[in-house]
Structure 1
Amino acid sequence: MKKHILVIAQYFYPEQFRINDICTEWVKRGYKVTVITGIPNYPQGKYYPGYGLFKKRKETYKGIEIIRIPLIPRGSNSIMLALNYLSFVVSGFFWKVFTKIKADYVFIFEVSPMTQALPGVWYAKRRKTPCYLYVQDLWPENVEIITGITNKKFIGSIGKMVDYIYAKCTMIFTTSISFVDSIEKRGVQREKIQYWPQYAEDFYFPLEKTRIDEIPNDNNFNIIFAGNIGNAQGLDILPKTAVLLKKNKLNRNIRFNIVGEGRYKETLEELVNTRSVSHMFNFIPRQPANCIPKFMAANDAAFLCLTDGDLFSMTIPAKLQSYMACGIPIIASANGETYKIITESKAGVCAPAGDAEKLAEAIIELSSKSFDELKQLAVKSREYYDKNFNKQELLYKMDRYFDNKEILED
């Protein structure tokens, strides 16, 4: 009889998150998978066409049974975002009371908000089912930094919720080693926490250099940023860096190809215009994830950045694995774990987070390299991915956690 995994993930297909692929792989590996999720609305903040409170609340995707519980869309302001978070929890509470689903494991895919874990924890407690939490974002640290809220009572209450969730989970998996240490400091037993890094979907792989209509065919050095354009990414550094690059006499002009959507996109476009560097930026609408490798192949390097701060020093953004899987040189503005991976892999250049001058220097350094030198960086990028983020090895390891074999051996 197939083992049944109940996945709790506020975001799921057609929203583009890695949990889509994890669930697809579990089906291939012989599991029955049911996903409890919301009505798709990320990142635009409104329901996707064809979805709603009374439309497509149940569907099947690649053998995965999807149940969509009611939630309020994210909208475009903090009040709507708070209601979005709260509505998923409220709907999840009533769902766990009335559901007849019987699962062997609960797996919670936690990107912000951490509140989405509560329905999974409640279900697992009621059914006495093993509960696994995959932490992508640390709370309450993430709330304090992103929102700017520092009220000790408010942050303290969120901290208590987080501690409750950690205490009720059988195992906690993290996307970075630093997250393990941070969670342990909250009083969680070390043996209960495991580093399980993200991998990239199979469609992320190196392609031959190509040209596409969305990017002009000229001699510019093209740098791609692909993904959510949010506040946490620290993309305000790019217009500042562009101003510095503009003052330098470069062998090749620099173009930043920004692919995606998000709450910060309009602000970023305004900053680009205000600083008179619009000729160095090319904004491209959000693309299907499986088209991104084609865009990578039309660029000379890929860019990622994180805001300066202790939390982001511990973070490894999911796009790092996507970039490396595509075998492309990387330019980063980041500290901590991301900086360590890029320097250790020798896959590109990394400037300190928030330092526009150092980032400009890094871009000048990379853009001055020959085709063969860039090719070598690309090769190292993919080699590091294959060695450290191998998809099948990571999935096999999770199988063993489900069977408790890894726990016993550790």
Structure 2
Amino acid sequence: MKELMIITSYFPPEIGAASNRIYHLANGLKQDYKVRVVTPLPNYPTGKIFSEYRGKIKSKSIENEIEINRIWLYASKSKNKFLRLFAMLSYSVSLMWFFIWNKIPNKVIVQSPPLLVAFTCVLFLRSKKRKLVLNVSDLWPSAGFELGALKKNFSYKVLKKLEHFNYKNADLILGQSNEILTHIKKITVQPELFLYRNYPDIMVADLTENDSKGEKLKIVYAGLLGVAQGVLKLCQNLTYEGIELHMYGSGAEEHEIESFINTNNELPICFYGRVDREKLHDELQKYDVAIIPLLNRIYGSVPSKIFEYAKLGLPMLYFGGGEGETIIQNHNFGWVAEAGNYGHLNSIIKSINKTELNIEFKREIQTKAYENFDYLAQMNRLRERL
């Protein structure tokens, strides 16, 4: 069987859209390829190596017929940009060592961002004999600038050069949004481009009527508690009249969110921490609406929660702008609030009528999801390109 390698900075048991996306990609390709994944020792989003891997320099295992090679890095979730840079450099050095001592197949998929890691892979693995595929999920460094994490200084210019180098030296680029592909076309026309959405491969949820009529509107957030999501600011700016906010997840803002909840314990906010993905799918059925926030509108970003929640039949309130907003509106998956406008968000929440959140509406959402977000059909199209 032909071999294919996937190089990524995130992979289960780590949580979040990035690890789920790459897992589904690897799982979908194992029918045609012997898939090998190269990834760091699990550390995200805690910034600490998970306990079962602590003290190891590397780990190799076969999981679900996929070979997983976990290699060392300096794990950190520090806000110090030098420590973050050192963490990325450590993984890049580990990758170079891995490339020296291991046979690399003729097809390699590289996850980007992180840009520096992707640059290392493209620089060392580009070859006329090898098909190099770049899986672009966010447009760094421009996304970092929009988030306020980067300034347009010398470092930003260096990152732009790395970005352009990566795109120009790839043979095929997978972009998770049309905005990403449009951006890449402005830089280079050399690689093939393929729209690869983050469709989840999940079983059809058994939908049931929510019997909480007459009670408060139960809003749920589930996912990373990072800077990009802006969940702390969301907690601080919601008007809590007639609603409850329930949250699942972990990340950089977790302790600040817990502190806010403890300081404002009169507010109807419940935080449950991190839970297993399958359990989370069951938990989500308890709620009326799932909120999908972004701190700022990020060009190119389409939260994969949209596709997952749609397949679960869960109505959504989208608060992030861009292409994600268009998907929600075009498919009538719920409501859209103007990105960054908390007054408009609270107005939209107040306008939601719980009687609309019936089983028929949920089934309509789910039906549209399975008609339009077909994981297997997309995977078949990707196989043809590879």
Q: TM-score, normalised by structure 1?
A: 0.86
SS at match of 2:256: helix
2:11 match: 12
SS at match of 2:305: helix
1:338 match: 324
Closer/same/farther in 2, CA of residues 139 and 94 from structure 1, 3 Å limit: same
Q: 2:254 aligns with which of 265, 273, 285?
A: 265
Closer/same/farther in 2, CA of residues 334 and 143 from structure 1, 3 Å limit: closer
Q: Deviations over 1:50-99 (max 9, x none)?
A: 10352661111111111112101124333432222111111112221222
Closer/same/farther in 2, CA of residues 19 and 238 from structure 1, 3 Å limit: same
For the residues of structure 1 that align with 2:74 and 2:207, how far apart are their CA atoms? 40
For the residues of structure 2 that align with 1:229 and 1:240, how far apart are their CA atoms? 14
SS at match of 2:245: strand
| 1:295-334 equivalences in 2 (<5 Å) | 295-309=283-297, 312-334=298-320
Closer/same/farther in 2, CA of residues 317 and 190 from structure 1, 3 Å limit: farther
Aligned partner letter, 1:41: N
| 1:4-403 equivalences in 2 (<5 Å) | 4-16=3-15, 17=19, 18-27=21-30, 29-54=31-56, 57-78=59-80, 79-101=82-104, 103-110=105-112, 112-126=113-127, 128-146=129-147, 148-185=149-186, 187-189=187-189, 192-203=192-203, 205-209=205-209, 219-242=215-238, 244-246=239-241, 253-272=242-261, 276=264, 278-309=266-297, 312-366=298-352, 368-370=353-355, 373-402=357-386
Aligned residue-pair number: 381
SS at match of 1:30: coil
For the residues of structure 2 that align with 1:356 and 1:183, how far apart are their CA atoms? 32
For the residues of structure 2 that align with 1:191 and 1:377, how far apart are their CA atoms? 41
Q: Is the CA contact 2:228–2:295 (under 8 Å) kept in the aligned structure 1?
A: yes
For the residues of structure 1 that align with 2:121 and 2:207, how far apart are their CA atoms? 40
For the residues of structure 2 that align with 1:49 and 1:390, how far apart are their CA atoms? 36
Runs of 5+ in structure 2 lacking a partner? Answer: none
Comparing 229-238 with 253-262, greater Cα deviation is found at: 229-238
Deviation, 1:31, is 1.5
Closer/same/farther in 2, CA of residues 218 and 57 from structure 1, 3 Å limit: farther
Q: Is the CA contact 1:53–1:70 (under 8 Å) kept in the aligned structure 2?
A: no
Q: Deviations over 1:226-283 (max 9, x none)?
A: 11110101224422443x343xxxxxx3111110000012223344455x46532110
Q: Is the CA contact 1:346–1:377 (under 8 Å) kept in the aligned structure 2?
A: no
Deviation, 1:381, is 2.2
Q: Is the CA contact 2:223–2:249 (under 8 Å) kept in the aligned structure 1?
A: yes
Deviation, 1:26, is 1.8
Instruction: Indicate the RMSD between aligned Cα atoms, in angstroms.
Output: 2.4
Q: Is the CA contact 1:345–1:380 (under 8 Å) kept in the aligned structure 2?
A: no
For the residues of structure 2 that align with 1:123 and 1:313, how far apart are their CA atoms? 29
SS at match of 2:267: helix
SS at match of 1:108: strand
Identical-residue share of aligned pairs (%): 24
For the residues of structure 1 that align with 2:266 and 2:136, how far apart are their CA atoms? 37
For the residues of structure 1 that align with 2:199 and 2:365, how far apart are their CA atoms? 14
For the residues of structure 2 that align with 1:257 and 1:23, how far apart are their CA atoms? 32
SS at match of 2:121: helix
For the residues of structure 2 that align with 1:147 and 1:44, how far apart are their CA atoms? 22
Deviation, 1:151, is 4.1
2:2 match: 3
Q: Is the CA contact 2:6–2:108 (under 8 Å) kept in the aligned structure 1?
A: yes
Aligned partner letter, 1:285: G
For the residues of structure 1 that align with 2:7 and 2:159, how far apart are their CA atoms? 20
